[in-house]
Structure 1
Amino acid sequence: MADITRICLWSGPRNISTALMYAFAQRKDTKVFDEPLYAHYLNKTPAKEYHPGSIDILKLMENNGEKVVENMMAESSKPVLFFKNMTHHLLDLNRDFMKNVVNVILTRHPEEMIPSFAKVIKNPTINDIGYAQHSELITYFENQNIIPIVIDSTKLLLNPEGVLKALCNKANIKFDTNMLSWEAGARPEDGVWAKYWYSNVHKSTGFAKYSKKIEDFPEYLKPLLNQCLPHYNKVLPYALS
């Protein structure tokens, strides 16, 4: 199929990335893929020891990241292909393919993201959550003259239609109002890990109204917060309004 738009989302965890995937899944011209590089990441890191469902992920998914990228670039089933990825799943992969896709960075203020992640992974490190990799990706894109699209989760929740329209415009695809809502429940594209991570999005029928977290930030996570903030602050100025 000619003129295929391949969109690679590079997100951190707990960044409403699954909701964004669900939004794209509502488009008739689009096929979505849930974290195709997850098994590659688990296979190459100690994360396999503490990520829930890792045995099933490694058994059911392609473990070789280079083969995954080849498959992503060979996929041609729809005019728009949306690959939801975690940035830290890239690891040591050759990034030349990024010159031929639409790269979207999705970030979230670490003060809100880290406690959410820590409810599943109890003692996260900066290597688990993608902020350093986002910062590094921005530098890589600048050096390669690649212009990424950056989305801040808070801005998306405050103005879903406006941010999605801006995203579609940057990606040179038409905005579809169907992206704003979906039926509650699981989707067939969900990864095998959905039962551990997707309970909230499965209850949703659209992007939730933003509300600032009011719980006190856990003291034991503050060193990690301080590590992540400079990386988040580097990426934020690029975000769509």
Structure 2
Amino acid sequence: MTAKNPLRIAMWSGPRNISTAMMRAFENRPDTAVTDEPLYGAWLEASGESHPMADEIIEAMETDWRVVWRTLAGPVPASRAVWYQKHMTHHLLPPMLDAEWLGGFTHAFLIRDPRAVVASYLNKRDTVSDEAIGVPQQWALYRFVTQELGQDPPIIDSGEFLRDPEGHLRALCDRLGIEFTNRMLRWPEGPRETDGLWAPHWYDAVWRSTGFGPPPAEPPRLDGEAADVAACCVPSYERLFEKRLRPA
């Protein structure tokens, strides 16, 4: 596959995945600019959700998603050939599910076993729901991207990815039409200027990292509401998992 020039990658994940580490991998490429969750402020203002640092994020970010869209479709920072845009699927408000807005991007998906997501999410928040971890929205967006936009987006399962990061990154780069570089496997520890304002709350593990972590353990046992939320998300996850990218 030959990459578009510039290549605008919209990587759609849910929270508590390897989304920030994946952003690090792409940011370590000399040809790539990255943007961290550009729709967060718009989603917070529209949804009224109580998230850590919500007021500060709304104040600091553009909250009109149409303005955000025009920015993401505009000039690439530093005139780079690749623009990697990290998105959360729960930030995708219903009016945004539109070909005019989504058609100009090359879409990709990052998925994770919902049981692991729920357990990790509850380490940071007191409650969880299927909408909060974005799995229903991810499946709906995948259907839109394939059926309405005619794209065949790569899907990365983070559990499998961490067992073979290089193999998966090579396969992903091949699908995107760009050259793989070993620089995607290692990066300097610490924060980045490109990290979102919310990074101190969520990115502590990534700030300590210099590469992708070890393969995951078995998904944890969940009880009560947590188990119900994970079970609700499993069918959508499994549909996406069936279509996952597999290294050669």
TM-score (norm 2): 0.92
Quote the sequence identity (%): 34
Distance (Å, rounded) in 2 between the aligned partners of 1:233 and 1:183: 34
Residues 115 and 218 of structure 1 are in contact (CA less than 8 Å); yes or no, is this contact kept in structure 2? no
Q: CA deviation at 1:155?
A: 1.4
- Name the amino acid aligned to 1:19: A
Length, aligned pairs only: 238
Structure 1 runs not aligned, ≥5 long: none
Q: How has the CA–CA distance of structure 1 residues 107 and 215 changed in structure 2, closer, same or farther, with 3 Å as cutoff?
A: closer
From 185, 210, 213, the counterpart of 2:215: 210
1:173 equivalent in structure 2: 178
What is the rounded CA distance, in whole Å, between the counterparts of 1:109 and 1:240 in structure 2? 15
Aligned CA RMSD, in angstroms, stands at 1.4
Q: 1:31 maps to what in 2?
A: 33
Q: Deviations over 1:15-59 (max 9, x none)?
A: 110000000010110010000000011011131x2x101111100
Distance 1:81 1:42, change over 3 A: same
Amino acid at match of 2:61: M
1:6 aligned residue: 8
Q: Does 1:194 align with 2:199?
A: yes
Q: Residue 213 of structure 1: CA displacement?
A: 4.4
**Partner SS, residue 190 of structure 2:** coil
Q: Quick one: distance in 1 between partners of 2:82 and 2:144?
A: 25
Partner residue in 1 for 2:123 = 119
**1:99/1:146 contact within 8 Å kept:** no
Q: How far apart, in 1, do the equivalents of 2:139 and 2:24 lie?
A: 26
Contact 2:116 2:220 in 1 (8 A): no
Range 6-15 or range 114-123, more displaced = 114-123
Q: Secondary structure, in 3 states, of the residue corresponding to 1:32?
A: strand
Q: CA deviation at 1:172?
A: 0.7
- Return 198-207 or 121-130, whichever deviates more: 121-130
Divergent runs of 4+, >6 A:
none
Shift of 1:147: 1.4
The match for 2:109 is: 105
Deviation at 1:219, TM superposition (A): 3.2
1:121 is displaced (CA, Å) by: 2.0
One-letter code aligned to 2:126: K
Letter in 2 for 1:194: A
- Of 179-188 and 95-104, more deviation after overlay is shown by 95-104
CA-to-aligned-CA distance 1:135-185 (integer Å, 9 cap, x gap): 111221232212111111111111100101111111111111100001111
For 1:60, the equivalent position in structure 2 comes to 60
Instruction: Tell me the equivalent position of 1:71.
Output: 71
Match of 1:159 among 160, 164, 169: 164
Determine helix, strand or coil for the equivalent of 1:128. coil
| Higher share in helix | 1
SS in structure 2 at match of 1:85: strand
Q: Deviations over 1:40-86 (max 9, x none)?
A: 11011131x2x101111100000011110110000322110000000
State the SS of the aligned residue for 1:191.
coil
Structure 2 alignment gaps of length 5 or more: none
Which residue matches 2:241?
A: 236
3-state secondary structure, aligned to 1:74: coil
